[in-house]
Each structure stands twice: as C-alpha cells, then as structure tokens.
Amino acid sequence: MRNNRRKRKKSTFLFILCVLVFGLTHEVKSEEKILTAAVEITAPCVMHHNGAYTGFDIELWEEIAQESDLTFTYKKTDLKDIFTDLAEGRADVAFSCITVTEEREKIVDFSHHYLDSGLRIMVLNKSKFSLAESVKSFYSPIVVKSLTYIGLFIIICGHIFWWVERGHKFISAKYFPGIFQAYWYVLVTMTTVGYGDIVPRKWIGRIMAFLVMLIGIGFFGWAVAQLSSAITLQKLHSDIADHRDLRNRLVATVEGTTSVDALKKLGAVVVPTKSIDLAFQKLLKEEVNAVVFDSPTILYYARNEGAGKVSIVGPLFDIQYYGFLFPQGSELRESVNRSLLKLRKNGIYDKLYSKWFGSY
C-alpha cells in the first residue's frame, strides 16, 4: 500500500511538474511570437480608418505575416521614434514608406526593397490669371529656347537673302538698311503674311524663299505652341515646372525625411513640418510655393482630398527605395525577405500594387 501511495504521489508530482514546465514554456513561446510592428500614419502606405489600419504597407505586411506565420500588434508612432524603438528593443519591425539610406543602415537593418519611389512636386492650382503672369511665360526656358532658334533662323536666312538679292529694287546694296529689309522679308514669308512689298528676283532667291516657307513655317508654329504651353503652365502651376525651378522657393516637406536633404541640394528654402498633412495645409493657405514628398503620398492626396485644388508638376526625381526596418541582427529579416520574394512570385504583390497605385 505504501509503495502504491508513493508511486501515486511520485506520478502526481511528475505530472504537476510537467504541466508547469511545458505550460510555462508554451506561454513564453507564445509571448515571443507576438511581434510589435511600429508604424507611422503616411497615406497611402499606412492609414487608420474606423479603428483599423489599412494601406499598401499594411496589407503587404499582413500577407507577409500570414505567409511566415507571425503574430503581431501595431504600435502607432512617428518617424523619429521608429528608429529609437527598434534600437532599444521596443519594436521588432517597422514600416511606413521609409526610404532605405546608407545613414539609416547604420542604425537598423532593412529588408529587400518592396517599392520603388522618388520625390514629386505638388503646387496649388490658380483660379486667377493676370497679364503680368502671362508676361512671365516669355521667360520660360523652353520659350526662350524656341525664340532663340527663330531669331537665329531669321538672321542666317536674312543674310543669305541679302547677299543674293542685294542691289535690286527691293533690297539695298548697302548692309544697312539692306539687312533689315532682308530680315523683314524672311519674317513675313515664314509667318505666311506675305505683304508682297519685297519679292525675290533671282532663281536662287526664289529657292531661298521656298526653303524659308517650308522650314520657317514649321519653326514659327513650334514657337507658338511652346508659348501657348508656357502660358497654360503659368496659369495652372505658377512657374514651377520641375525640380530645377525649386531654387530659392519656399517648399514644405516633412522634417527628418530624405526630402529635406534633396531640397537643400536644389537650393530650395525648406519649410519643415511635423507631418505631411501640415505641409498640405501650408500649400492650400499659400504659405509655400510647393510641397515635395514621396511620390505615393503626393499622388494619393492629389487624386483624392486635393483633387481640383492642387496639381502634380514635373517628372519623378531623386529615386528612392522603401524597405521594412528591423533591429540590427534580427532573425526576422531573413524570414520577411523570403516571404516577400514568394509574394512577388505568386502574384499577390502585383495585385496589391495595382489596387493602391494603379498606373503610378
């Protein structure tokens, strides 16, 4: 009987010990699996709506988490605290349209880049248009270039016509005023006005006139088109056509981002804001000339809340790449990279990209 009691006590003790050991181990493992994902609200990558997170980065991360069997919770923060949280172990992963840079790589580890981007310029649409603003159009680089080409064409053709026709009834043999008479003839010919006050007398002069008509009309039409385009641009988008026009202009962007350094290199007067929404407000209040920020965010605002109020000008510049962030040496990075490659291969990544960015 005593032996049986001892055996039962021993079995009960071992059972309790096993429950405690395996139960605690399972609890620890469960806790270890709950990751903290630090995010910053930056449309359309990360947004918060009706108590839930959404956006391209959110949906991509959740697909990765499902693929890698990861459990996580979101932690809302800002860009500055994201790096601090990762470095001090308060976050396991972070994302929100964050650009991969050499300086940031010294603080955190990045995944393979999951989105190619760059900077875009957004300006305020103008409702009023004055004569003074139209005059500014003549100083547009493309208009100056076209007018220069026309001027050279008139000068060259005028000299040739004067040399061929000089001494006749309509063209003086003297350089002055003969050259101005030749210029006048070339101008009225290329514009198809053709007053008839000066006509070529020699065959070589007539051949010259034919070339002026054929080539000059094309030059003149091209110049008119460029001027019309410049006036339209001046009306809609002020005189900022691309990133080269940002020099000495007040440009709003988010402080601490790569946009700041890019704008300083261009000679812009940077107006830093704590969030991109504040930058948008400054533009709507006409406190700045333009807003420059990451392409997805700029395009999303222009096509949604800012539709009809703002416009995008110029091409993409200062090409950038986005990646997921991890504490240095994190084992999670390799798992995320493998899942990201798999999502690209099976087409899920392309579906998410098309959903959020379309033809961006």
Q: Tally the domains of the chain.
A: 3
Percentage of the chain lying above the pLDDT 70 cut: 82
CB 218 within 8 A of CB 241: no
Residues 196 and 272 in one domain: no
Q: What is the pLDDT of residue 25?
A: 44
The enclosing domain of 209 has a CATH number of 1.10.287.70
Strands 47-49 and 52-54: antiparallel
Q: What is the pLDDT of residue 24?
A: 43
Q: What is the pLDDT of residue 290?
A: 95
**Segments forming the whole domain that contains residue 146:** 132-237
Mean pLDDT of 214-223: 81
Does residue 357 surpass a pLDDT of 50? yes
Residues 232 and 152 in one domain: yes
Q: What is the pLDDT of residue 261?
A: 92
Q: Considering the domain boundaries, does residue 18 fall inside one?
A: no
Residue at a domain's end among 218, 237, 256: 237
Indicate the pLDDT class of residue 26, thresholds 50, 70 and 90: very low
Residue at a domain's end among 195, 221, 237: 237
Mean pLDDT of 254-276: 92
Residue at a domain's end among 215, 237, 259: 237
Question: Residue 80 and residue 101: Cα distance in Å, rounded?
Answer: 15
pLDDT tens per residue across span 94-126: 999 898 989 999 999 999 999 988 899 999 987
Higher pLDDT residue, 77 or 136? 77
Question: Residue 295 and residue 276: Cα distance in Å, rounded?
Answer: 12
Q: What is the pLDDT of residue 199?
A: 82
pLDDT tens per residue across span 50-105: 889 999 999 999 999 999 999 999 999 988 899 999 999 999 999 998 989 899 99
Range scoring the smallest mean pLDDT among 8-17, 169-178, 314-323: 8-17
